[in-house]
Amino acid sequence: MITLSTVDLSLAAGLVLAMAALSWRMQLGLSGQLLIAGTRTVVQLLLIGLVLKALFANVDLLWVTGISLVMLLAAGREVMARQQRRFTGWWGFGMGTGAMFISSFAITVLALTTMVATDPWYDPQYAVPLLGMLLGNTMSGIALALDRLTTTAWQQRAIIEQRLMLGATRLDAIAEIRREAMRSGMMPIINSMAAAGLVSLPGMMTGQILAGSPPLEAVKYQILIMFLISAGTGFGVTAALWLASKRLFDDRHRLRLDKLTGPRN
């Protein structure tokens, strides 16, 4: 394995700085976001590197559970932050977080106990990276799907209310919007699966090959991960949209857009 030096990383960081300078010169308004994102990347990855080093040295279910919950809560916050119109109260945070917990945690435990079959099953060398990949992709899918659902429901509120007046139930009135939101949430992982091996080499496979693993072993692990991610994203998006679709209405099947934040226009 080739060890990267501080100089190597500094050269890569210089490319980000160059892009930030170009953004400033073109007045794109992205230079600040690029610099903040780059700084967060360095700080967060260094911190998780130190945490993982301690976890690998002291395998303990309590510590693995703790860092998993921190990852889940951070992912839930990101889902909430990406919504143009999010649900008010704890629903704005709890809906995406709960859906990710149901899908990502369940699939991760299933994979660790049956497919990967580590001993112990919560070995952080496998559990934390696997959960992280599932949470990251599920987070993006749920964020896209919820944003599409709530934004479209707001834009088509008159159409939804007409359907309700004609006798449709709340789930029937929003069914088409929910299907489109589901497609939006699933499209990134579908594109990734369709392009894997032809257009791009997925991250985990690339990392293993760079670390010296045999290509075919890296391919088998990547196939497993892609299937797990697609299932986790699908179940997570389905759960989040089902909860959100019910939350948009009251018990009398009336559309309640006052449960959403955002510009009132």
Instruction: State how far the alpha carbon of 9 is from the alpha carbons of 16, 42, 54, 126, 211, in Å.
Output: 11, 10, 24, 26, 17
- What is the mean pLDDT, run by run of 10 residues, along the chain of 265 residues? 82 92 87 90 90 84 90 90 83 89 91 88 89 91 93 91 88 91 92 80 74 82 89 93 90 84 63
What pTM value is reported for the model? 0.82
Cβ-contact 158, 148 below 8 angstroms? no
Instruction: State how far the alpha carbon of 77 is from the alpha carbons of 19, 61, 72, 182, in Å.
Output: 28, 24, 9, 21
Burial code of 123-151, b = ≥16 C-beta within 10 A, e = fewer? bbebbbebbbbbbebbbbbbbbbbbbbbb
Burial of 38 (0-12, 13-18, 19+ CB in 10 A): middle
| Residue type at 215 in one-letter notation | P
d(CA 38, CA 46): 12
Cβ-contact 59, 120 below 8 angstroms? yes
- 3 state DSSP class of 194: helix
Helical ranges in 58-123 per DSSP H: 61-81, 91-100, 106-110
d(CA 205, CA 207): 5
pLDDT reported for residue 56: 82
pLDDT reported for residue 131: 92
Cβ-contact 234, 228 below 8 angstroms? no
pLDDT reported for residue 85: 84
DSSP 8-state secondary structure symbol assigned to residue 104: I
Helical ranges in the chain per DSSP H: 6-25, 31-57, 61-81, 91-100, 106-110, 124-155, 157-165, 170-173, 175-195, 203-210, 215-247
pLDDT reported for residue 1: 63
